[in-house]
Structure 1
């Protein structure tokens, strides 16, 4: 449940009447008065949050955008009810919610990411001799948008269109490790947000933090039997020009059928991910 707490800098005398959603005539971000002021302010708040490296305080949003603070709280509450933002009560900050990630994933899927990534995924599978795939983040899931199955290799659960828990998949861990830590906390606030597939993998925020810490140290994400028993994966994030993880590339293999080690696969996956990052910029 999202709980809203008044920030210590709130002025109790500020009116919370919905009329306050109408923009101030001195709003520096508005060249002219919009016909639908609430919609204009909502989109500006979402755009502001999307440009930040982590969740932001309501007063910072108000000060930067020139929107009355009472209006900011009304709009944030409405967006939170629909999942577009989430309130981190312990820090009195607001970050993007899972619905915003859904929009980002939809945009990514409609852009040339799959087209640009397909030849790189294919080349990666040929180079390593194992199946490779490309995935994007949608909320707390990863969605697979490209898969290249290597010859004579078993079918994987990560077919195009399949969603898997991000905290279990190598692609998801690679992207989560590249997100601001505050954003990860907003996505995984407690144990109830952790799905399970094979009985392995992190089940609470502290365990996920340990997994992501190792991912950052290694420079790649790995998973062993947490998505499908007997299979291992290595994943590396694909970053846009701001350093935001828009996707991840991964290789998956059957542990009993090959002597591949994660450290030996990682350079090839990283090379392909870096090249896709370069092509997207």
Structure 2
């Protein structure tokens, strides 16, 4: 990695990113140790961030967490829709190359939410229009993202059979069946579904990850018929390109 031109800015951003990845606030001394930044520097930077509302000090716990200004940044990110804006041309190119419809989805609880759909020429309409929600455990996009989540989180989302919904009479209906599906996804790096969302249609998907390996979206292609996936490598490449454009290339 290149040496940062503005070390203070680099350290400040590292602190914010580290706080964002943690499940709970952290002591300044632990923050300094985990990031390898001098403790005095960490205290000065935290004081500046606190003055601007990006972090908050919890005096009773002697810990620091993210503040409301960080939440405002997240809201601005959502309003500007960079994921959809960056993903749309990539998916359009993917649909042109493989001759099948492509879509981009994000997780929303136990559902996936479709934020981009690019329909290939002379291909039928799908149920994956922008704004549509579908059960994550039935979709290729959902399975791609679920496979990248911590196993404890998957168990929390699907604690028992009551958490599973059905559309076509096929697909996992209990946690043990979902675990087997996700195990295969982790082994191959590809998620598939065959008629579990719409009879006669199949999909293949690949997750897009952030710096920490967290799934932020999934790219998929859907086609009609019994033939195999039209271009698995094309879907993988589209996911890799989007990951790089978002600044999350981990290679």
TM-score by length of 1: 0.62
SS at match of 2:231: helix
Instruction: From the superposition, tell whether residues 116 and 182 of structure 1 become closer, same or farther in structure 2 (CA, over 3 Å).
Output: same
- Select 2:184's aligned residue among 214, 221, 234: 214
Instruction: From the superposition, tell whether residues 150 and 109 of structure 1 become closer, same or farther in structure 2 (CA, over 3 Å).
Output: farther
Alignment of 1:261-272 (within 5 A): 261-262=228-229, 265-272=231-238
Instruction: From the superposition, tell whether residues 111 and 194 of structure 1 become closer, same or farther in structure 2 (CA, over 3 Å).
Output: same
For the aligned residue pairs, the C-alpha RMSD in angstroms reads 2.4
Aligned to 1:276: 242
**Per-residue deviation, 1:278:** 0.7
**Per-residue deviation, 1:105:** 10
Which structure 2 segments of 5+ residues have no match?
1-17, 31-56, 62-73
* Corresponding pairs, count: 190
Instruction: From the superposition, tell whether residues 230 and 190 of structure 1 become closer, same or farther in structure 2 (CA, over 3 Å).
Output: same
Alignment of 1:1-281 (within 5 A): 51-52=21-22, 108=78, 110-256=80-226, 259=227, 261-262=228-229, 265-281=231-247
**Per-residue deviation, 1:111:** 3.1
SS at match of 2:147: helix
SS at match of 1:155: coil
TM-score by length of 2: 0.69
Which structure 1 segments of 5+ residues have no match?
1-46, 70-103
* 1-structure distance, mates of 2:157, 2:102: 27
SS at match of 2:218: strand
Deviations 1:144-192 (A, max 9, x none): 1110111111000000110000010100000001111111111111111
SS at match of 1:178: coil
Would the aligned equivalents of 1:194 and 1:203 in 2 still touch at CA under 8 Å? yes
**Per-residue deviation, 1:109:** 6.5
Instruction: From the superposition, tell whether residues 118 and 197 of structure 1 become closer, same or farther in structure 2 (CA, over 3 Å).
Output: same
SS at match of 1:123: helix
**Per-residue deviation, 1:108:** 4.8
